Structure 1
Amino acid sequence: MTFKAAKEFNTPVGNYCYYHISRETYPIGITQIKEGNSVYIMATPEKALCDLIANQPGINLRYKKEALEFLEENLRFDMDKFCQFNPEIFLAYAKNGKKSTSILTILKLLQHE
């Protein structure tokens, strides 16, 4: 994700796609990691899921059953780990990002509503 222009890079290692995201949504769910003298940022699993939902065409999760099927069958999510996700990240993303209905459906599934 980037708040700059979207770009694609094809390298011998693999293909990389950077998708545009709003400046308001970009920092939600970003964590800073320090390893030795290096510092870098990485998306939390919650942010990665939100970014995927918000930026992949054809995903429209209106019902918890759809959301559960998407997580279990399409993404093969470990649902025990999903239950440990931070709901605040989904809530913040839904307030600022695209596809807020789908993100809120995921949040309802997480909170067992």
Structure 2
Amino acid sequence: MLEARLAEYGAVPISHGALLPLLAEYRRPNDKIAEWMRQGVLIPIKRGLYLVGTPWRQEPVCLPLVANHLYGPSCVSLDYALAWHGLIPERVHEVTSTCMRRGRVVTNALGRFSYSTVPAALFPVGMTLERQEKVSFLMAGPEKALCEKVLLTRRLEATSRAAMKAFLFEDLRLDDDALGSFDLAIVEHFVKSGHKSRQMQALWRVLESLQ
């Protein structure tokens, strides 16, 4: 049964090209793909990219993995990563990522996925490989997620240690105990990059005082 073969993909998104070998016996494979979408066997997440629907998919949907596949190269970061690492108390519904290409927003049946541009030299800094169930995905470590939050927050005037502390602990409501274990070498990459240098220096001073 073809649906059983689809189930082997689990929570990993499937491209249109990967489906075609399964449908080699069909004269019009796109008609079968359209039928599967109508039946819920496949869930379209963008043009030419799908997830296997339930009950054929036994694993839960992994939103960070979907984000990696929707637009790349990209890395889940900013608010979603801060929440993932337990640094902020709020539950984040939008999956936020950073990338080197032009930013964009993708909305589909699974939710809203946003992508913000960071300088190419900073993109790999502090990136980690996280795991959920049987799948792995690119996620910013806590240091990268926070540095990119400072970098990409518009009109952020927190250039003194006091002002940065207010941003971190009053605006973002970060867990200061967790910040005490940050790897300052990663933060230093952002400080030395020259991007928002005064804010990054203020961030480094706050983090250094918590060590």
Structure with greater Cα Rg? 2
Cα 1:97–1:39 change in 2 (3 A) is farther
Residue 159 of structure 2 corresponds to 62
Aligned length: 113
Give the aligned residue type for 1:68.
K
Residue 186 of structure 2 corresponds to 89
Structure 1 unpaired stretches of 5+: none
Tell me if structure 1 keeps the 8 A contact 2:127–2:144. Answer: yes
State the alpha-carbon separation in 2 of the partners of residues 13 and 70 from structure 1: 31
More RCO (CA 8 Å, sep 6+): 1
Percent identical among aligned pairs is 24
1:8-64 Cα offsets, whole Å, 9 max, x none, are 112344322201112100011101235575332110111111111111211122111
State the alpha-carbon separation in 2 of the partners of residues 13 and 40 from structure 1: 17
Give the aligned residue type for 1:47.
K
Residue 111 of structure 1 corresponds to 208
Relative to the length of structure 1, the TM-score reads 0.88
Which range is displaced more, 5-14 or 100-109?
5-14
Tell me if structure 2 keeps the 8 A contact 1:22–1:97. Answer: no
SS at structure 1 position matched to 2:209? coil
* RMSD between aligned residues: 1.9
Q: Are 2:141 and 1:44 equivalent residues in the alignment?
A: yes
SS at structure 1 position matched to 2:129? strand
